[in-house]
Structure 1
Amino acid sequence: MPLLDIRNLTIELDTPHGRVKALERVSLTINPGELHGLVGESGSGRSLLARAILGVPGHNWTITADRMMWDGHNLMDMSSKQRRNLMGSEIAMIFQDPSSSLDPAMSVGSQIIEAMPTNKKIPFWKRSKFKRTTAEKWMHKVGIKNPAKVMKSFAWELSEGECQKVMIAMAVVNQPRLLIADEPTDSMELSTQAQIFRLLSKLNQLQNVSILLISHELETLSGWCDQLTVLYCGQVMESGPTAELLAKPFHPYTAALVENAPDYSGSLTHKSMMKTLPGSASALQHLPIGCRLGPRCPQAQKKCVSRPILCHKKGRYFACHFPNHNEACNDDSTS
């Protein structure tokens, strides 16, 4: 049974320009112990999807879905208190903007300790020291060189990179069943990025923690994730096993991402133009009808003004009227 199973999730936002569909009929499945990558451009709705899973919507959101199942329980039927109980204990998130996610009036150490559950197996007079020792241990694991000093510091005294490491430590200290990492290595040096990814991979392999890794870098996700979901302007373009998706992309957008990846072989001349899709992603108030990639798609035709269904083929999902390799929908396609 999937750990997280979302079908046809739609998020509508009330804006000065009217109601817009920021996410349209998005489906996502994460199995226990799976490392799933969610890739898309800025503004594609990746963070909105993560917040919908956590149950922290904005004041102007309207969320509808056929189902949002967590370990066999419907998240849509849970009360606010039940959803809060899941956050931190079973579902944790590393937010994209760490400095604004930390309380500036509390020390970093007190925030991490506050997020830790009480271990009733430990005598009450030892719990405070145990929590502090555990917090320092995880801060050291995420690459903080002086955990004891950082524990006493406030968020505004730390750099953006250090705040990001603190957020990662706060998320993984409880070893949740699902960890949502939204750009977890943003504003970090390359060596620290590799250390963080190794830590997440170790959590996945040794503790069976499922991870939803969100990024705009396809190359980074392809090296760590078992499954990939490609998102564009709030619609799922394609989803499937990482190796198969990169070797044989069905959707034109996925193919463009693979073909236009930076080439580090040295064949490009200095200041040469990189390959890109023509145009840019549409603004929320000017979203195209049908397939939202239509205005930029090299294979777009008249039929693309109607939204394609999400087709299923041998463990792969794609939403395109004219997919690559002449793939056609099977009978078990989902709308």
Structure 2
Amino acid sequence: MLLLDIKNLTIELNTADGLVRAVDRVNLSLREGETRGLVGESGSGKSLVAKAIVGVLNKRWQISADRFNWRGQDMLSLPYEQQRKIIGRDIAMIYQEPSRSLDPTAHILEQLEEAIPDHLLDGPWWKRGYLRRRKAIGLLHKVGIRDHQSVLQSYPFQLSEGVCQKIMIAMAIAKNPKLLIADEPTTALESTTQAQLFRLLASFNQLKGMSVLLISHELESIARYTQSLSVLYCGQLVEAGETAAILKQPYHPYTHALIKSVPEFQPNLQPKTPLYALPGSIPVLQHLPIGCRLGPRCPNARKECVKTPTLERLQNHFYSCHFPLTGAKEP
């Protein structure tokens, strides 16, 4: 059963220059117990998609979708309060820059206890304070923080970014969500701490069956921890499928460029060889290309690319390109 099923998600931003389509008909699905990666350059709309799932977008932004189902239930047809109840119960999100997401005026203990729902406290009401504190300590131990006493009595600014990120994860898993969304969870962290956090998220998926949506602009960081992958470019879904299949045979030129730019995926790369990179940069929202938004940077671009390509399917591999790479179909 699909846990999350989104078809043709579109997000338009109301600017001084009119409506700007920041996310253009993106499809995204997640099965129960699945770990999916959402990858793309900064500015590709990854965070907007995540915020649309948890319903925290600006009210001035216009959101539409042909289908937006959570566990088979149409979320768009529900009243706002009922949507918030379902999302608050089943979905949790870890934001970028954890030290800025935490309340700087409150101790960690206070913030962590606030994240624990009452129905998870098994005991009489007069022991709620004690039970809540024990639960908070247990959550810190789960995310690898052993010195809980000093951490609980600290303010966020007194702790490192790595510890703050672990606290954000502890707050996110406090309600046992069915879906955990991690939006760039390792930004500005050193490599050893990044690996610890990714292994921590993978353990929740394996031990608790928690679905995880990993969002990052670094393909090599999430490829080894995900079963499936969706690639975004400038608000458009360019490729999606099983991670291993995409890494072995990408069909879209942008996905191919991402893979070629990572030395880890190029075992035959000679020392001091320049890394591959697409020319140009991702366009700003006010000046988006028509049709395929990769067109001005794409080495395979032709005149047909001024029309937006449709999403094609080859078994469980999806791609959106008029002229896919060898293995998909003949141009």
TM superposition score category, shorter chain reference: over 0.9
Residue of structure 1 equivalent to 2:292: 291
Offset, 1:145: 4.5
Q: Secondary structure at the match of 1:56?
A: coil
Whole-angstrom CA distance in 1 between matches of 2:299 and 2:204:
41
Whole-angstrom CA distance in 1 between matches of 2:205 and 2:283:
36
Name whichever of 276-285 and 99-108 sits farther off: 99-108
Segments of 4+ moved more than 6 angstroms? none
Name whichever of 197-206 and 250-259 sits farther off: 197-206
Residue of structure 2 equivalent to 1:237: 238
Whole-angstrom CA distance in 2 between matches of 1:136 and 1:185:
23
Counterparts of 1:158-307 in structure 2, within 5 Å, are: 158-262=159-263, 267-269=270-272, 273-307=274-308
Check whether the contact 1:142–1:195 (CA below 8 A) recurs between aligned residues: no
Go from structure 1 to structure 2 and tell me whether the alpha carbon gap of 1:88 and 1:109 turns closer, same or farther (over 3 Å shift). farther
Offset, 1:7: 0.2
Q: Secondary structure at the match of 1:116?
A: coil
Whole-angstrom CA distance in 2 between matches of 1:120 and 1:103:
24
RMSD: 1.8
Go from structure 1 to structure 2 and tell me whether the alpha carbon gap of 1:326 and 1:161 turns closer, same or farther (over 3 Å shift). closer
Residue of structure 1 equivalent to 2:322: 321
Q: Secondary structure at the match of 2:36?
A: strand
Counterparts of 1:53-132 in structure 2, within 5 Å, are: 53-118=53-118, 119=120, 121-132=122-133
Question: Which string of whole-angstrom CA distances, capped at 9 and with x for unpartnered residues, describes residues 280-325 of structure 1?
Answer: 0000000000000000000000000000001111011100000011
Residue of structure 2 equivalent to 1:14: 14
Aligned residue pairs: how many? 327
Go from structure 1 to structure 2 and tell me whether the alpha carbon gap of 1:163 and 1:211 turns closer, same or farther (over 3 Å shift). same
Percent identity, please: 50
Whole-angstrom CA distance in 1 between matches of 2:261 and 2:158:
40
Counterparts of 1:33-48 in structure 2, within 5 Å, are: 33-48=33-48
Residue of structure 2 equivalent to 1:136: 137
Whole-angstrom CA distance in 2 between matches of 1:89 and 1:68:
17
Question: Which string of whole-angstrom CA distances, capped at 9 and with x for unpartnered residues, describes residues 154-211 of structure 1?
Answer: 2233333322221111112222100000111223333322222222112111211000
Whole-angstrom CA distance in 1 between matches of 2:2 and 2:68:
11
Structure 2 residues without counterparts, runs of 5 or longer? none
Whole-angstrom CA distance in 1 between matches of 2:30 and 2:220:
21
Go from structure 1 to structure 2 and tell me whether the alpha carbon gap of 1:185 and 1:54 turns closer, same or farther (over 3 Å shift). same
Check whether the contact 1:22–1:234 (CA below 8 A) recurs between aligned residues: yes
Q: Secondary structure at the match of 1:205?
A: helix
AA partner of residue 268 (structure 1): P
Go from structure 1 to structure 2 and tell me whether the alpha carbon gap of 1:7 and 1:161 turns closer, same or farther (over 3 Å shift). same
Whole-angstrom CA distance in 2 between matches of 1:120 and 1:255:
49
Offset, 1:77: 2.1
Give the TM-score, by structure 1 length: 0.92
Q: Secondary structure at the match of 2:76?
A: helix
AA partner of residue 10 (structure 1): T
